[in-house]
Structure 1
Amino acid sequence: QSVNNSRSIVSKACGCYNQGICDPNTGLCICPSGFVGQQCEKLESTTLCNNVVCKNSGVCNIISPTVSTCWCLLGFHGNYCERQRAASRCTEIQCQNGAICYEHSPAMSIFAYCLCPPGFTGRFCETEYFRCTRPGTFTDLYQCAQGSYFLCDYTNRLIPGTCPKGLRFNFNKMSCDHASSVPCPNI
């Protein structure tokens, strides 16, 4: 049972959490904004981003139980990432095959790079190294050490899979396993 301890107040009749109010007639909790569940024990985080449309590949993130915001790629700003900053490094490179350009600014320098879609590699994601030709589970040759693998469905759609940190996909067990027990192929 998850409880927000910083604001946890329990109503004795219903056992409501997070300042929920007990309805004495029904015995049910009436939850404040931002909380759900029979006892108001869960954060209502999944609906905050439903009606938020972040532009330019921005991502909606929940920053409190009742507030969400768009996190913008470098080079964009505004409430919904709708404005482009001048002099973006991403205008200088041409990512290919549906890749997305990101900027990174360590210390005083700024550089741009392409984040390749699954199955592509290269500075501009110009090289395809994997394509689904039949259904099944396959090794991601370039990202095996990071726990990545591919699933191909019956329509030859490529679905990337990733094991938690320190694990790799074990094809014998068809599950993630300790990295030390799953060797990666040499490429």
Structure 2
Amino acid sequence: MMAELTGYYMMVLSTVVFWSLPYNTYSLNLDDPNVCSHWESYSRMVTESYSHRFDQIYYTNCPDILKWFKCTTYREMYRTAYRRGEKIMYRIKSQCCPGFFEIGEMCAPHCEDSCVHGSCMAPNTCRCEPGWGGYNCSSACDSDHWGPHCSNRCQCKNGALCNPITGSCICTPGYRGWRCEAQCETGSYGNGCQWTCQCQNGAICHHVTGECNCSPGYTGTLCQDECPVGTFGAGCAKTCHCMNNSKCAHVNGTCDAGYTGEKCDIRLCPDDRYGLRCEKNCPCHAPRTLRYVVNDLTDFNKLYCARINTFKQSVF
């Protein structure tokens, strides 16, 4: 009897221990927000105990006067029995949420179309690298946009190229600045404004090509030459009409010293005047002095006043 009880208790203990052990089917990290869990049922064959009813026979004294005989009596009793059966059990089932797939202990988003130049950040949603856009990051940014998903607008000016990754401007020749908004400083030109102008005589060079824009009265590739004799002004486009073998100034067309009039056809200046175009007052006040005398027609600074007879000797 003791052996039977010992076997019974061992079986019950093993059943209890089996039921108390956690049924761990987790392979995913439950802290991952993309892991979804739910309860699921499953069946399992188990050995279970139950109370079995039986009639126990026992003997009592018969109700006779002498009580010499024993009578058979039955009483209802229960004992623990065991049986095999199918039992419905429940457990937590963890799996990746819809739109995600399992990678080790984590769940990663799934994009049906591969993200060509980017990564899948959510189900069917790509995160594009800078310089790329489109639903699957396969389209390069156009010339006016930059950054991830081409979401930023370029700020470049004057035909500058916009870097599709950083948005920085690549200036065209002749321009500078963060947005290529400014021309090269005076005296420089070209790509990156790295070249120095070679123009002469106050000419200004083009900020893109370096071509010289000559000041009035000069010509040549570098504006190194005066206008040819008989011409003057911007681009040497105007023609002189000087007479008396007089030549005009290459800048503004004024006549040589000692002549006046539109065509330099009037010799000498009026009294009290001298200089180019006779625009200056002569300081001579002594009697019998000429108001204007030409000493050196090539040097206007050597004009002076002299006596009339001196003038006659030097001129005639």
Q: TM-score normalized by structure 1?
A: 0.36
The structure in which a higher percent of residues are strand is: 2
Larger Rg: 2
Q: TM-score normalized by structure 2?
A: 0.23
Name which structure has the greater RCO, CA cutoff 8 Å, separation 6+. 1
